[in-house]
């Protein structure tokens, strides 16, 4: 018992290095010996960086913060999949027990025109913030709210809205999509607010504005491969994309120029 498997493994890490947005990058290979399988993937990178620093080299830059799978900051494309080989977890929740002794692990940043590389594995995801700023809100100023129980919301709808709202904005959907589309991210917010009575009032304007911003940011087009849903650490459903399509078509038809 104790939840510790106590095993050690050796792995080879092939990691993308790029000094900044403008310079070209390339891969660098590091042998990692005696890695505890209880370590998280990012802790393995901590150990690597500790070594690089003592060797006088530049440590690998990567985004991370909460290390418990909720802030959405960590973003590594590991062995051909965003957040690595396990489903429904973020990179920080991935543990070395998901790898085998002797594995070579290829680690790349999210690749998207809308997410330029800042350094090494760090990318700039401000495009997501701009999409939210375009319409991912309910226009209600502080202090105007009525009693919270004034509007009843059926539990199934509230639950569905919650499931869509579980998105952590990590960008794995964009990274996974062969087209670099951000439809899952955008549709999750559109859905959450369209499902709730509070958000319905401006639902049409919201979907038009958010999709417009998404297109402006340079994300690709959705071809319904479903890769986003499969790789989403929070298992956001494709139903949200369908709902957004529907909302968008109707909103476009109703739009008063």
Partner 1 sequence: MSNAGFLKSSIGKKVIMGATGLFLITFLMVHCFINMLIFFQDGGETFNKGAEFMGTNWLIRAMEIVLFVGIILHIVQALVLTLENRKARPVPYEKINGAANSSWYSRSMGLLGTLILMFLIIHLKHFWVVSRFTDHIAHNEYEKLPGQETLFKEMMEVFENPMVVLVYVLAMISLTYHLLHGFQSAFQTFGLNHRKYTPIIKKTGIAFSIIICTLFASMPIAMHFGFVK
Partner 2 sequence: MASSKKLNSNIPEGQLELKWTTYRSTVHLVNPANKRSLEVLIIGSGLAGASAAATLAEMGYKVKVFCFQDSPRRAHSIAAQGGVNAAKNYQNDGDSVYRLFYDTIKGGDYRAREANVHRLAEVSGNIIDQCVAQGVPFAREYGGLLSNRSFGGTQVQRTFYAAGQTGQQLLLGAYSALQRQVGMGAVKLLARHEMLDIVNIDGKCRGIIARDLVSGKLERHFGHAVLLCTGGYGNVFFLSTNAMGSNVTAAWKAHKKGAFFGNPCYTQIHPTCIPVSGDHQSKLTLMSESLRNDGRIWVPKSKEHAQAIASGKMNPNDLKEDDRDYYLERRYPAFGNLVPRDVASRAAKERCDAGFGVNATGQAVYLDFAFNMKYKYGKTEATKKGIENPTEEQLTEFGQAVIKEKYGNLFDMYAQITGVDPYKNPMMIYPAVHYTMGGLWVDYHLMTTVPGLYALGEANFSDHGANRLGASALMQGLADGYFVIPYTIGEYLSEEIRTKAIPTDNEAFVKAEQDVNDRLNKFLNIKGTKSVDHFHKRLGHVMWDKCGMARNAEGLKWAIEEIKKIRSEFWSDVRVPGTANEFNPELEKAGRVADFIELGELMCMDALHRNESCGGHFREEYQTEEGEAKRDDDKFAYVAAWEYKGESNFELHKEELKFDNIKIAQRSYK
Given a contact cutoff of 8 angstroms between Cβ atoms, the answer to whether 64 and 42 are in contact is yes
Given a contact cutoff of 8 angstroms between Cβ atoms, the answer to whether 72 and 110 are in contact is no
Interaction partner, residue 204 (partner 2, partner 1, none; CB < 5-8 Å by kind):
none
* Residues 6 or more apart in contact with residue 148 via CB below 8 angstroms: none
Looking only at the bridges linking them, the beta strands covering 8-17 and 104-108 are parallel
Q: In what order do the strands lie in the sheet with 77-78?
A: 26-36, 8-17, 104-108, 77-78, 81-82
Q: Does 69 bind partner 2 (CB under 8 A)?
A: yes
Q: How far apart are CA 111 and CA 92, in angstroms?
A: 19
Q: Does 84 bind partner 2 (CB under 8 A)?
A: no
User: What's the longest Cα–Cα distance across the chain?
Assistant: 66
Q: Does 89 bind partner 1 (CB under 8 A)?
A: no
Q: Does 111 bind partner 1 (CB under 8 A)?
A: yes
In the complex, the smallest distance separating the C-beta of residue 121 from partner 1, rounded to whole angstroms, is 13
10, 27, 57, 200: residue in contact with partner 1 (rule CB under 8 A) = 27
Residues 25-64 binding partner 2 (CB under 8 A) are 36, 38-40, 42-43, 46-47, 49-50, 52-54, 56-59, 61, 63-64
Q: Does 235 bind partner 1 (CB under 8 A)?
A: no
User: Pattern of binders to partner 1 over 128-167, x per CB under 8 A?
Assistant: ------x---------------------------------
* Residue position matching structure tokens 């913060």: 65
């Amino acid at each position: 018992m104790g939840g510790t498997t106590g095993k050690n493994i050796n792995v080879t890490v092939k990691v993308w290095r790029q000094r900044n947005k403008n310079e070209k990058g390339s891969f660098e290979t590091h042998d990692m010996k005696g890695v505890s399988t209880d370590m998280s993937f990012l802790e393995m990178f901590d150990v690597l960086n500790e070594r690089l620093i003592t060797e006088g080299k530049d440590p690998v830059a990567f985004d991370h913060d909460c290390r418990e799978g909720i802030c959405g900051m960590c973003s590594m494309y590991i062995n051909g999949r965003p957040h690595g080989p396990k489903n429904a977890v973020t990179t920080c929740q991935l543990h070395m027990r998901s790898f085998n002794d002797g594995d070579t692990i290829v680690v790349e940043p999210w690749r998207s025109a809308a997410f330029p590389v800042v350094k090494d594995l760090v990318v700039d995801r401000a495009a997501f913030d701009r999409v939210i700023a375009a319409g991912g809100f309910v226009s209600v100023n502080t202090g105007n709210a009525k009693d919270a129980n004034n509007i009843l919301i059926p539990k199934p709808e509230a639950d569905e809205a919650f499931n869509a709202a579980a998105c952590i904005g990590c960008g794995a959907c964009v990274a996974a999509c062969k087209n670099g589309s951000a439809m899952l991210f955008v549709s999750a917010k559109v859905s959450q607010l369209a499902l709730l009575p509070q958000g319905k009032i401006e639902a049409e304007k919201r979907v038009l504005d958010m999709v417009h911003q998404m297109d402006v940011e340079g994300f690709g087009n959705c071809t319904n491969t479903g890769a986003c849903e499969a790789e989403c650490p929070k298992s956001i459903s494709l139903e949200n994309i369908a709902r957004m399509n529907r909302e968008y078509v109707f909103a476009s038809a109703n739009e008063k120029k």
